């Protein structure tokens, strides 16, 4: 049993986190599945008594994070793969989002990831091996109106992940940021909150975004079980990717954003790149 990798997954109660926990266990690995309401994961512990452990974890509570990581190591002796999946989305235009809601969004989606990652890094460094998987989003690469605050948290994960990869590769630690498109995870039912200061006449796009979730959570979108298989395959590959889009919509949107950036900066490249001091001023 000792040679089987240990996956530590946050936000495993539903959606992609749940699908990933089930897939990892089905492939014979061990899992520490965490959630704010761990009782919803008890069936996994019952089905895999030797390989699954269920822990209560609120990623915004640092004491809770420290306890969960310590208990995971106590149970299995190590942690090999950390999946920062816990998070939710705030819907609303930038002007509609009040400070409290914005802070709560960042506390979970950004500082929650920092809490877990910083607590587990000493374990991975001591092992000289490990993999951090941050669940980002398509909207962490290209932002949508009425989803700007959520997008901002996922953009933050992109930067954190890039820096983390550069800082820790010398310790045998890999980093992957997953960028899913639309998947049938029940995200809008369980993981969405709405801005308080609604201005529907000014920003009808908020209602449009809320209406679009009926599609995003339909079976016309991605299958989270297939996404889970790809994530495990990527982690287990000889050269794990740093960036892992999931779904054709994610690839299409990323390609379009890259092309848009090229077109936006091209007209100004010649003038805006000439910012060095003039030779006379330097002399």
- β-pair partners for 70: none
List Cα–Cα distances, 277 to 23, 33, 44, 271, in angstroms: 58, 56, 64, 14
Which residues, at least 6 apart from 149, have a Cβ–Cβ distance to it below 8 Å? 90, 92, 94, 97, 101, 102, 105, 195
Can you tell me the distance from the alpha carbon of 271 to that of 268, in angstroms, rounded to the nearest whole number? 6
Cβ atoms of 125 and 171 closer than 8 Å: yes
Q: Which residue has the tokens 């940021």?
A: 177
Residue pair 270/203 in contact (Cβ under 8 Å)? The answer is no
Q: Are 179 and 250 in contact (CB under 8 A)?
A: yes
Give yes or no: 215 in active site.
Answer: no
Token pair listed for 32: 């520490």
**Active-site residue, selected from the candidate residues 48, 88, 150, 203:** 150
Longest dimension (CA), the chain: 77
Rounded distance, CA 243 to CA 162, Å?
A: 9
Do 183 and 228 contact (CB within 8 A), yes or no?
no
Tokens encoding 26: 């089905």
Which H or E run includes 3?
none
Question: Which pair of structure tokens corresponds to residue 256?
Answer: 């379009």
Q: Cα–Cα distance between 29 and 35 in angstroms, integer?
A: 19
- For residues 74 and 76, give the distance between their C-alpha atoms in angstroms, rounded to a whole number: 6
The residues carrying an active-site annotation are: 150
């Amino acid at each position: 049993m000792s040679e089987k990798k240990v996956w530590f997954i946050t936000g495993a109660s539903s959606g992609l986190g749940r699908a990933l926990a089930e897939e990892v266990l089905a492939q014979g690995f061990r899992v520490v599945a965490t959630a704010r309401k761990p009782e919803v994961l008890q069936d996994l512990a019952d089905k895999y008594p030797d390989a699954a452990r269920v822990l209560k974890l609120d990623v915004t509570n640092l004491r809770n994070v420290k306890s969960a990581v310590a208990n995971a190591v106590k149970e299995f002796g190590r942690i090999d793969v950390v999946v920062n999946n816990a998070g939710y989305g705030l819907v609303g235009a930038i002007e509609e989002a009040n400070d409290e809601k914005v802070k709560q969004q960042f506390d979970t989606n950004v500082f929650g990831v920092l809490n877990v990652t910083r607590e587990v890094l000493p374990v991975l460094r001591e092992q000289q091996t490990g993999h951090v998987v941050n669940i980002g989003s398509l909207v962490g690469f290209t932002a949508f109106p009425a989803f700007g605050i959520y997008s901002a948290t996922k953009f933050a994960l992109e930067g954190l992940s890039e820096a983390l990869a550069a800082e820790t590769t010398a310790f045998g630690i890999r980093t992957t940021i997953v960028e899913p498109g639309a998947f049938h995870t029940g995200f809008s039912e369980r993981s969405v909150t709405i801005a308080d200061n609604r201005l529907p006449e000014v920003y009808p796009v908020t209602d449009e975004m809320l209406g679009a979730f009926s599609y995003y959570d339909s079976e016309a979108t991605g299958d989270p079980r297939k996404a889970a298989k790809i994530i495990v395959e990527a982690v287990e590959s000889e050269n794990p990717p740093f960036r892992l889009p999931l779904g054709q919509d994610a690839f299409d949107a990323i390609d379009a954003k890259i092309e848009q950036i090229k077109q936006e900066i091209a007209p100004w490249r010649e003038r805006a790149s000439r910012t060095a001091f003039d030779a006379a001023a330097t002399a």
